[in-house]
Chains A and B, each alone.
Chain A
Amino acid sequence: MIKDYRTLLILAFAGFVFFAMSMKKATDQDFVKYQKEYYAELGAEFPGAEIKQVNVPTPAGAIIDRCQSCHVGVSNPEAMDFQLPLATHPPIVPGLEEDPHNFNDIGCVVCHDGNGRAVEMHDAHGEFHGWIKPMLVGPMAQASCVRCHAMESGHLAGAELYEQGRELFLEKACWGCHTIAGISSSSQAPELTDAGGKFKFDYLVESIVHPKANDENSKMPEFDWVHDDEPVIALATYLKGQQKNRLRSESTAPIGYIKPTSDVLRISEPSVAAGRAMFAGVQFEGSIAKGGCVNCHAFRTDGGELSGGHIGPELTWTMRNRGPEFVKDHIVNARVHSPDSIMPTFKDYNEAELDSLVMFLNTFSYKLGSSAEGQKLYDTYCVSCHGPDLKGDGIVSAMLDPLPRDLSKYQFVASYDERFQNSILNGVSGTAMPAWKNVLTEKQAATLVEFIKGKSLSEDQSFTRMEVELPMIGDPERMDYKGKGIVIEEGNPEDGQVAFQKFCTSCHGKLANGKGPNAYDLVHPLPRNLINKEFISQAAVTDERLYESILLGVAGTPMPAHDHLSDQTILDIIAWIRMNTTEEAK
């Protein structure tokens, strides 16, 4: 019994101690310590601890801000040399006698985010899991200037990092794919008008540096310049500033922005210089025409030196291969030529701006001598798409759709080599393969074909393909499937559609756009987009070729033979494909 009383006493004592600890924790919070320290350093009498709360009025109500409970010295110039968190806030607008920002009115959260209600550091800085707005430290807080100040364009003192980011957004051609209301309009990539409201700073940085970190299927290219911290931070600061939830409207902003005079200036006289500036993504004589082609497209100087990005095809030969009309149409809407192109739509350019770009592209004249051998030709003209080993995996191949042909497959080369000459000289419509006839001579094209054959074909790998003929309509010799005695009729698109949905959709997809469920497991090449009008209706894609590809499959690709289909069914399918890609298609 005595033992029991003793246990009870000990436990009661322990309970009391823990209880007291909880009381101490409740009363002796960090801000009390900081405030004591602050007054001790000031040499002033400690007036007693208090939670210093600022209620920042906003259109939606008041933001509650208790940051100055710890950061007691932010507005006191005497605390300039104190340690954090007691020190004075450095001036926001450089070069002013008295900073217009009064922290007793606007608090800290407005600019620095974080969790204003908390008074414990970890909490207050928003460093706990799932907190939407972790603190923006140092110059990153410039992202918040635009929450109050109107500054869509133009200049605001103290927001240099933000302005640098805005310039980068234009220069690096981010605007080409991403929409930010008032800056750009494009449906290629996620809209960024509320990027800052939706995403954390770190997430923005990560998305710029490693676009595939969160979404493996992201089409966003990994740019070269992202390995440099400075522009990334600047750009992320700019994006963080893109928040729909503004605290002041443009008319109530405490200070307006200085509107640049060139706001509405466009290029009216085409010139090579203007084209060059747009291509590089820099402003041309104050014009607001945006550019930045060089971020994705490379070009060669006359010395043969390659520079620029490797996201889209190299543009050195584009004018010679494609001609000015094609190039202009392609800039305005690349989808008219190849429906799966990821190239953004630049529909805002006026005629003079398009002409400037064309004029600039026309200055590229690099070309190999006529005596160049196969390897040299290939390495100059073909390698960026088809890759050093002919595998169709060149540096720009990832973003091309359809993918460049894998020429290392000997089955493919052995079966179709007679087509190569034509494809090189006249190009393949609906794909990134241009017509090279203005750059290469026929002899050079022949050299290239021989080069490819020499690389891919070897003696011990032979491949012979059956010869088939397109059945003639009404030919009594070609009976239908199982010899039912029905003579081959003209293809019926309606039956073709039924057959297509039955036999083809797993790879080519219900819409016949090459994106069927199985396509995700295929690597190279991917199923053909069969509603690619440009491709299907070019002269080289004959009914016979389609018939052969369906019946026997395509050699060296995942397209299998379909010899279980009757001739009539294949003709029906071809008729349906043709119907989809002719003018009257829906």
Chain B
Amino acid sequence: MNELIEKAKDFGNRLYYSFFRHRMDNTGLTKSKIMFSNVLLHIQPVKIHKRSVKFKTTMGLGLITFYLFLLLSVTGILLMFHYVPSTAIGPDGLPDAYSRMLNLRSNVFWGGFLRNMHRWAAHGMVAFVALHMLRVYLAGAHRGGREFNWVIGCILGLLTVFLSYTGYLLPWDQLAFWGVKVGTEIAKIAPGGALIRGILLGDSDVGSEALIRFYVLHVAVLPAVMGFLIAVHFFRIRKDGGLARPADTSKEKQIPDEEFGEVKNNSVFKSARSYKLVEIVKGNEPKVNEETDQMMFAWPKLIVRELIVLVGVVAFLSLISVLFDAPLEGPADPNHPTNPSKAPWYFLGLQELVSYHGFIGGIVIPGIMAGGVMFLPYIEIFLETFTKTYRKNIPGVWFARERNLENALFIGMYLFMLALIIIGVYFRGENWAIVYPWVETVGGGH
């Protein structure tokens, strides 16, 4: 009998070790093995700086953005099972794409909820990309070898907006049609914009060709590009030595080199680090450079924190999606413009600018802004090199005194865009005239 139990235990063990290659004890070796041997956790380093799990370091903004992307992928794929990107007029006089929206709301089980979730997550993602970028800049984390990752981040940001924008057309209702129409009209102003617009729309106007192109971009091209760039974005963070943080320089924490063998930090990246195998031995942990005291194992603390963010995001979005329905208006009608025709909110700042001057507001200012922001770290480096102002750049410190000017300008730009968006969303009524949201307007129209 005992023998049988032993055999069963042995079988169970072998089964267990075929799935997992580690025990579940609390030793450093196990903690490292868990991180090493799990494909999902392997993205994370085995050991991280304690600072990284603190709320105030990142506020989880980048992570939230990433989770929203995952959530959008999941809900998006589920929606794809029902959606057809067709403007063909169905039996009841409605375009197919639009009648699928009506079905989602009425007789497709859980369809309304999925659509709500997809919609709100999309808006949320645009917002959180912006917040994440603000955080990175204000903490100075775009410098110190991370300049190119900032550029990738900016491309990811643009991709997010573009993804959201391509998705905006798909319901094929008045809101979608005229929102996208406004956006593509703005594109016309740019030199060569008409060509890009033509390629995007596949026609001289927003129509069935545009719908299918936007659909393919939305469900295949852009997510694939985005997924790849996200991988690069994360990979570079790893290679740059985790989250940006000020180097520990206090003398008393200097650890002699001979204690863990010869590890010289001769990388081009200041914060880059390397490990020796001895690290995964239990007991007195060997130290790497002077930062070691602050290091901790990523399992389980970091993983739990990340799970908290994930569950939090899903729970919050579920609540929002239960409470608020995604907007849906009448079917797209090219002959009856909505008045006012508003682009999606993240383009309303742009639309507001365009309403003052087409070329300056629609191309020059946003062009300078987008280009300027994308190459901001290089502009900073350029100015520093050519004016010989070599200052101490401390990445990972919020509102560093040395960077007050840059931070103020950056916040100013954000507030400027925010103000424009708020004006565009709440203070613009018929014929783009100023209205006050608290004054109810009695509109006719049909």
> Taking beta carbons and an 8 Å cutoff, which residues of A are in contact with B?
1, 4-5, 7-8, 11-12, 14-15, 18-19, 21-23, 25-27, 51, 55, 58, 60-64, 66, 109, 115-120, 123, 128-132, 198-200, 203, 206, 213-214, 245
Contacts and interface: CB of A to CB of B under 8 A. Distances in A.
A120 B105 contact: yes
Contacts, number: 113
A22 B102 contact: no
Interface residues of B, number: 41
B103 interface: yes
A73 B308 CA distance: 50
A200 B445 CA distance: 9
Interface string B328-340: 1111010000100
A18 B304 contact: no
Interface in B83-109: 90-93, 99, 102-103, 105-107, 109
Contact of B305 (A4, A26, A116, A214): A4
A117 B92 contact: yes
A8 B113 contact: no
Given A26-B112, A130-B329, A60 B307 contact: no
Given A117-B99, A245-B93, A130 B315 contact: no
A117 B102 contact: yes
B110 A130 contact: no
Main SS class of interface, A = mixed
A203 B308 contact: no
A51 B113 CA distance: 18
B58 interface: no
Contact of B318 (A7, A18, A27, A199): A18
A1 B305 CA distance: 9
B32 interface: no
Contacts of B112: 25-26
Q: Closest 10 interchain pairs by CB?
A: A61-B91, A130-B329, A15-B315, A130-B330, A18-B318, A203-B446, A117-B102, A22-B113, A62-B91, A11-B311
Contacts of A8: 304, 307-308, 311
Interface string B190-228: 000000000000000000000000000000000000000
B444 interface: yes
A206 B442 CA distance: 12
A131 B446 contact: no
Given A22-B113, A64-B92, A117-B103, A128 B318 contact: no
B314 A214 contact: no
A15 B311 contact: yes
Nearest to A58: B91
A131 B106 contact: no
16 contacts: A1-B301, A4-B304, A4-B308, A8-B311, A11-B315, A12-B315, A62-B91, A66-B106, A118-B102, A120-B105, A130-B174, A130-B175, A132-B331, A203-B446, A214-B446, A245-B93
A25 B308 contact: no
Nearest to A65: B92
B372 to A, nearest CB: 38
Nearest to A212: B444
A123 B105 CA distance: 9
A63 B92 contact: yes
B173 interface: yes
A118 B105 contact: yes
